[in-house]
Amino acid sequence: MKNKTKKGLLPIFLGILLLACAALLTAHNVRADRSAQESVRTVLEQMDSVPTTQRNTAVLPALPAYMQYPEMEMPVRVIDGREYIGVIELPSLSLTLPVLSELTAVNLTVSPCRYVGSAYLDNLVIAAHNYTSHFARLRDLAYGDTVIFTDVDGNVFTYEVAQIEMLAPTQVNEMTDGDWPLSLFTCTYGGGARVTVRCEKTEN
Amino acid sequence: MMKLYKPLCFLFCFLLCISCCLCASAAQIETEKTVDLSLRFAPHDTPAVGVQYRLYRIADVSQDVRFSYVSPYSSYPIAPVGNTTDQWRNLARTLQGFIASDGIAADHTAVTDSNGSFRTDGLPTGLYLLTGDPITIDKTVYTPQPFLLCLPVQAGDTWTYDVHIDAKYDEYPADTERTVQILKVWQDQNSPQRPIQATVALYGDGKLYETVVLDKNNNWKHTWKNLSAMTVWTVNEVDVPEGYIVSVGQEHGLFGVVNSVPSDDEGSTNEPSTIPDDEPTTTPTEEPTTEPDGEPELPNTGLLWWPVPVLVFGGLVFIVAGITRRRGKQDEE
């Protein structure tokens, strides 16, 4: 009798175990996604209105500092111990996200990060996780869609989507060596490639 | 014909050499001569009367226009005299800062007369820095821009030893207080030798106003507000880091203190310089400010989703297999 009742129990147990793992993984990912969404909301609240570019009291209008010295370091604003270089907006996706100055594994769980470059030198590359609250919908951008980056000094850089491509994880040079003023990327669903959006500058 | 060939060749070469010598001598500076300088400072054609000017002889100039800094300027961590208007303008600001910090006395001084002019005769040839004091005319403050001037002045293929120039100036409303901002800029390819902080000083009319420390915490910049528009404000870096040279630029109220690593070619004055014209040029660098860590792959920016359908499918397969197996056994029984 015992052998009869045990037949088939092992595969059922294994099947339940696998389903439980799937459920745990899904719960973990959903939790990470929601945590990232909450982080972004908190940071954006603290960023509030970015100060407008300070102008001196001289008669002649002053150029922003980055126009005179484009190689200057992008200024940062420290929020909750992390350094942010600005905010990126994707109006067609109804998305507004802060951008951290440095890309690390931990920082990526909080908000998009600068991978390399500077908005002042027209070679900025921003990476983010494919959370639904971050860059999951990056591939939904269309050619000509507007992308706006605002630095912490209030300088606004406006771009439009010019190219969407897939890069392999090993194509590091292809990601950074192009003449694109702004590039955004995130992993594909399976993690095997990087969805990369290239943007041309329209106006400052 | 063959008899004439050699004499003709000799005559041709002789004439060629003479013309080359004439051309070369026409472009060369007669360094033993002295220069007479007249300057007019008349904003909007209104003579600026009683304005003091200071002349500092910065460098010797050779016959073929090679500049060599004289003491004490030769000891400063600055770039050689460049060839563009921007480089000369920035060098003037940089030297103005060192002069203020070290209290260097002018080699010559002059005061403008009722025509807004002054004349100084018998100046040795060389590269000069000229600075002037501000003046208020009709509720507007006019401040002469510091500038470098090579004496003599080049006019086409010749050199003029009786020089007449008009001063350029900045203007501000007299009842407006000035804001001065300093920005530190590094041009060093993100060198690991870059210091974590830098100290800069603000001088007003040659007197130290304040010293501040710039670093990442203040985004390498500092702003002073409510400053007098009647004061000449200059900036200098205190203790330029080892291995770097400094250049100070100013555009309106922003002073950019740029530290760069001199290339192997810099520091040499062997090449003849070109006196820049008035056309401004800008040469922003194309180098990015940050570099990736050198990882062989792009960072992983994806959540681990792909195992989910695999696990679900596998789990269902096992469950169905298990149920099927149990039913089959029961049927047998």
Asked, for residue A61, whether it belongs to a domain, the answer is no
In this prediction, residue B258 carries a pLDDT of 96
For residues B82 and B59, the answer to whether their CB atoms sit within 8 Å is no
Sign of CA dihedral B294, B298, B299, B304: negative
In this prediction, residue B214 carries a pLDDT of 97
CB contacts under 8 A, A 98-137 vs B, are 103, 105, 108, 114-118, 120-121, 123, 127-131, 135
Q: What is the pTM of this model?
A: 0.79
Asked, for residue A18, whether it belongs to a domain, the answer is yes
| Closest of A88, A50, A45, A81 to residue A186, by C-alpha | A88
Split at pLDDT 50, 70, 90, the class of B294 is: low
For residues B178 and B233, the answer to whether their CB atoms sit within 8 Å is yes
| Averaged pLDDT for residues B125-145 | 95
| Averaged pLDDT for residues B251-275 | 73
Which residues, other chains included, contact A66 with Cβ-Cβ below 8 Å and sequence gap of 6+?
A72, A119, A120, A151, A155
In this prediction, residue B293 carries a pLDDT of 54
Asked, for residue B23, whether it belongs to a domain, the answer is no
Split at pLDDT 50, 70, 90, the class of B287 is: very low
Asked, for residue B27, whether it belongs to a domain, the answer is no
Sort out which chain A residues have CB atoms less than 8 A from B297's CB and list them. Answer: 169-170, 172
Q: Does B128 touch chain A (CB under 8 A)?
A: no
Which residues, other chains included, contact B85 with Cβ-Cβ below 8 Å and sequence gap of 6+?
B276, B277, B278, B279, B280, B281
For residues A51 and A154, the answer to whether their CB atoms sit within 8 Å is yes
Distance, CA of A115 to CA of A118 (rounded, Å): 10
CATH number at residue B104: 2.60.40.1140
Looking at chain A, which residue has its C-alpha nearest residue B175? A57
Determine, for residues A170 and B297 on separate chains, whether the beta-carbon distance falls below 8 Å: yes
CATH number at residue A91: 2.40.260.10
Q: Does A189 touch chain B (CB under 8 A)?
A: yes
Asked, for residue A105, whether it belongs to a domain, the answer is yes
Domain around A102: 1-48+70-204
Instruction: Count structural domains, chain B.
Output: 1
Split at pLDDT 50, 70, 90, the class of B103 is: very high
For residues B260 and B187, the answer to whether their CB atoms sit within 8 Å is yes
> In whole numbers, what is the pLDDT of chain B averaged over residues?
86
In this prediction, residue B285 carries a pLDDT of 33
Q: In sequence order, what are the beta bridge partners of A79?
A: A82
Residues of chain A below pLDDT 50: 1-2, 50-61
Asked, for residue B247, whether it belongs to a domain, the answer is yes
Domain around B169: 34-260
Instruction: Read off the pLDDT of residues B49-85 as tens digits, 9 standing for 90 and up.
Output: 999 999 999 999 999 999 999 999 999 999 999 989 9
For residues B22 and B157, the answer to whether their CB atoms sit within 8 Å is no
Q: Does B325 touch chain A (CB under 8 A)?
A: yes
Q: Is A52 helix (H, G, I), strand (E, B) or coil?
A: coil
pLDDT over 70 (residue B268):
no
